């Protein structure tokens, strides 16, 4: 089963090289057919030059530029329309996600024969390193709200780091979110539409370079919109969208 890794990147020239080389090193130690698909989200810095320089070093790497519209959600959606694998993972360009956790996700998908693998930083075995305290408080409140409204046990919906089979990505269309709210739209739709999933612990490490693209003040209403959209589908679609 071929694995695709979709990585959105906007102005990540300081981080992207270390991220890609770390993924390449981890996957050189295992026999997993894979591709690394970086979506350059119309970066204004040297991200594109770094990607070009890594092509020979990392044979599994390919990249495309999303000319627009731009934004985290748009970049991921661009990649999800173009990956070649049988399953696809979403990872961040700042090395906050561990490639060794992704290998664990992949083997879990095969061993458990599930449609999705969701990472959780908060269950036993999960770990966060240098997580900003205010962001942590907001994260736990937001995920609590999602759990209560959607009546699910999963406690890290806002975590983008997840693995999906190709048919799941096809089955959760159409995707609406142009921003970070895509991180909850895909898993909530997957759960609502009857796809199976396994939750495994994963680690998260704060970025070394640059600043986070997530602007909390701008995202509250957008997360709420998608949450309500998924709530309405769950309770009023009469199961029409289940696989």
CA dihedral sign, ordered 151, 155, 159, 164: negative
Q: What ranges in 164-215 are assigned the alpha helix state H?
A: 166-171, 182-192
Q: Above 90 in pLDDT, residue 189? A: yes
* Extended strands (E) in 15-58: 34-40
Q: Above 90 in pLDDT, residue 207? A: no
| 243 domain residue, yes or no | no
- pLDDT, one tens digit per residue, over 30-66 is 999 999 999 999 999 999 999 999 998 999 999 999 9
The structure tokens listed for 233 are 């589908």
- pLDDT, one tens digit per residue, over 74-129 is 999 999 999 999 999 999 999 899 999 999 999 999 999 999 999 999 999 999 99
Helix, strand, coil percentages in the chain from 3-state DSSP, rounded to 5 = 40, 20, 40
Domains in the chain, number: 1
| 242 domain residue, yes or no | no
DSSP state of 73: H
| 38 domain residue, yes or no | yes
Give me the domain span that covers residue 36. Answer: 3-236
| 181 domain residue, yes or no | yes
CA distance readout (Å), 132 to 17, 129, 157, 204: 24, 9, 18, 12
Q: Which conformational region is residue 68 in: left (phi greater than 0), alpha (psi within -120 to 50 degrees), or beta? A: left
Residue 49 sits in a domain whose CATH number is: 3.90.550.10
* Rg of the chain (C-alpha set): 17
Q: Above 90 in pLDDT, residue 212? A: no
DSSP state of 209: S
| 241 domain residue, yes or no | no
């Amino acid at each position: 089963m071929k694995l695709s890794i979709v990585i959105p990147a906007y102005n990540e020239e300081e981080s992207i090289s270390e991220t890609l080389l770390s993924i390449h090193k981890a996957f050189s130690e295992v026999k997993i057919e894979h591709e690394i698909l970086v979506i350059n989200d119309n970066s204004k810095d040297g991200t594109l030059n770094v990607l070009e320089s890594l092509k020979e070093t990392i044979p599994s790497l390919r990249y495309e530029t999303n000319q627009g519209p731009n934004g985290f959600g748009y970049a991921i959606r661009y990649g999800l329309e173009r990956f070649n694998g049988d399953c696809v993972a979403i990872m961040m360009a700042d090395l906050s996600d561990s490639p060794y956790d992704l290998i664990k996700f992949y083997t879990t998908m095969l061993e458990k024969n599930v449609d999705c693998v969701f990472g959780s930083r908060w269950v036993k075995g999960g770990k966060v390193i240098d997580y900003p305290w205010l962001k942590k408080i907001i994260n736990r409140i937001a995920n609590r709200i999602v759990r209560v409204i959607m009546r699910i046990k999963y406690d890290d919906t806002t975590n983008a780091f997840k693995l999906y089979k190709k048919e799941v990505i096809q089955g959760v269309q159409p995707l609406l979110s142009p921003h970070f709210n895509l991180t909850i739209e895909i898993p909530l739709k997957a759960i609502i539409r009857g796809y199976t999933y396994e939750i495994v612990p994963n680690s998260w490490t704060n970025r070394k370079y640059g600043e986070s693209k997530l602007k909390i003040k701008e995202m509250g209403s957008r997360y709420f919109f998608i949450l309500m959209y998924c709530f309405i589908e769950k309770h009023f679609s009469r199961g029409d969208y289940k696989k």
